[in-house]
Chains A and B, each alone.
Chain A
Amino acid sequence: SYALTQPPSVSVAPGETARITCGGYDIGSKRVHWYQQRPGQAPLLVMYYDSDRPSGIPERFSTSNSGTMATLTISRVEVEDEADYHCHVWDSNNGHSFGGGTRLTVL
Chain B
Amino acid sequence: QVQLQESGPGLVKPSETLSLICTVSGDSISSYYWSWLRQSVGRGLEWIGRFYTGNTKFNPSLKSRVNMSVDTSQKQFSLKLSSVTAADTAVYYCARGIVGRTSIYFDSWGQGKLVTVSS
Contact = CB atoms under 8 A, between A and B. Distances in A.
Interface of A: 30-31, 33, 35, 41-45, 48-49, 54, 86, 88-91, 95-96, 98-101
A98 B47 contact: yes
A72 B61 CA distance: 29
A49 B109 contact: no
A35 B103 CA distance: 15
B44 A101 contact: yes
Nearest to B100: A49
Interface residues of B, number: 21
Given A98-B44, A98-B46, A101-B44, A42 B100 contact: no
21 contacts: A30-B103, A31-B102, A33-B103, A33-B105, A41-B111, A48-B98, A49-B103, A49-B105, A54-B107, A86-B44, A88-B45, A88-B105, A88-B106, A89-B103, A90-B104, A95-B47, A96-B59, A96-B104, A98-B45, A98-B47, A100-B43
B27 to A, nearest CB: 15
A42 B103 contact: no
A13 B110 CA distance: 31
